[in-house]
C-alpha cells in the first residue's frame, strides 16, 4: 500500500481527543510518525459525542501498526511548546508537519465573558499557534516537505460564537496567510482548515436547541466527524498539496455556502 505520509514526522497539538485525535489517526494510517501533544493523554468522553472512547490516541495508532508517543503540553505555556518541538526533533531526528489544533471554547458575550476567560481563549486559540510556528519553523524549513496546518473555524468569517473564539480563529486565518508568505522561500506550506460542526466532546457546552440550529445550517445530511478533518489534513500534508499555501479550506458540510 502506498502511504502518502510515509517517513514523515508530525506534531499534533490537542491530539488526545476530538479533531486532533481524528487527524492523528489518519496521519498514522498514511505512514506518519505522530507526536501527540495535549494536557492529558486520556481522551475526553463527551455527553453527546465520543461517549464510548476508552483508549488513548497513541494506543489506537499502535493498533494500526504505527509509531507514536505522547508529550504532555500546555500550549498556553511558551516553554512547553519549545520543549515539545525540541523533544520531537531529539527523539525523531527532525520535523515535517506541525498541526496547530489545540483550542478551547468558553461561552459568554460582551458583558458576561470575563477578561481572564477572554485572555485564555485568545492565548490558546491564537497566540499558541504563533508560538508553535515560531519554534517549529526552522526545522520545518529543513524538511523536504515542510507543512504547517492550522485548525481555524467557519466562525472565523462571521459573527456568532462570542467575542473571543471567532476573533481568535479569524486571527489564525490571517496568520496562516502571513506565514505562508514568510516561509514560501523554503517551500514550507502553511494552510488552515476551517471546520464546521464536528461531533466531538468539545460540543458538550451546547444545548439541544443550539445543536438543532447547527443541524439546520448544515446542508449535507449529517454533521462532520473527526475523520473528515483528518482526511483534509492528510491532503494538505501530502505531496499533492505541495503548491498550495496560504489557503483556508472549509470542511463544513456546506455551512459557509449559504452565508
- Give the residue numbers annotated as catalytic, written as ranges: 165
d(CA 95, CA 86): 10
d(CA 189, CA 111): 39
CB atoms within 10 A of CB 178: 12
Distances from the Cα of 177 to the Cαs of 9, 45, 80, in angstroms?
A: 23, 34, 25
Q: Which of 6, 7, 26, 4 is nearest to 15 (CA)?
A: 26
Label residues 96-125 b or e (16+ Cβ within 10 Å = b): bbbbbbbbbbbebeeeebeeebbeebbbbb
DSSP for residue 145: T
d(CA 133, CA 119): 20
Q: Which of 45, 21, 43, 17 is nearest to 34 (CA)?
A: 21
d(CA 184, CA 186): 5
d(CA 168, CA 12): 19
Query: What nine digits make up the cell of 90?
Result: 531529539
Amino acid at each position: 500500500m502506498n502511504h502518502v505520509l510515509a517517513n514523515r514526522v508530525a506534531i499534533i497539538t490537542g491530539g488526545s481527543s476530538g479533531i486532533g485525535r481524528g487527524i492523528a489517526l489518519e496521519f498514522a494510517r498514511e505512514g506518519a510518525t505522530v507526536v501527540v501533544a495535549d494536557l492529558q493523554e486520556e481522551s475526553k468522553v463527551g455527553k453527546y459525542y465520543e461517549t464510548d472512547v476508552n483508549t488513548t490516541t497513541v494506543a489506537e495508532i499502535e493498533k494500526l501498526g504505527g509509531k507514536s508517543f505522547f508529550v504532555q503540553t500546555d500550549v498556553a505555556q511558551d516553554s512547553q511548546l519549545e520543549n515539545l518541538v525540541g523533544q520531537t526533533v531529539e527523539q525523531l531526528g527532525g520535523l515535517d508537519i506541525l498541526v496547530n489544533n489545540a483550542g478551547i471554547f468558553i461561552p459568554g458575550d460582551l458583558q458576561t465573558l470575563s477578561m481572564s476567560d477572554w485572555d485564555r481563549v485568545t492565548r490558546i486559540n491564537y497566540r499558541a499557534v504563533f508560538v508553535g510556528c515560531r519554534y517549529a519553523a526552522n526545522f520545518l524549513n529543513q524538511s523536504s516537505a515542510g507543512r504547517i496546518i492550522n485548525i481555524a473555524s467557519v466562525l472565523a468569517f462571521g459573527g456568532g460564537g462570542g467575542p473571543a473564539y471567532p476573533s481568535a480563529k479569524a486571527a489564525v486565518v490571517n496568520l496562516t496567510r502571513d506565514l505562508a508568505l514568510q516561509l514560501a522561500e523554503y517551500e514550507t506550506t502553511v494552510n488552515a482548515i476551517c471546520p464546521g460542526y464536528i461531533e466531538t466532546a468539545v460540543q458538550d457546552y451546547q444545548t439541544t436547541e443550539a445543536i438543532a440550529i447547527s443541524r439546520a445550517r448544515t446542508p449535507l445530511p449529517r454533521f462532520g466527524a473527526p475523520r473528515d478533518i483528518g482526511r483534509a489534513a492528510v491532503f494538505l500534508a501530502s505531496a499533492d498539496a505541495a503548491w498550495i499555501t496560504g489557503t483556508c479550506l472549509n470542511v463544513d458540510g456546506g455551512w459557509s455556502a449559504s452565508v
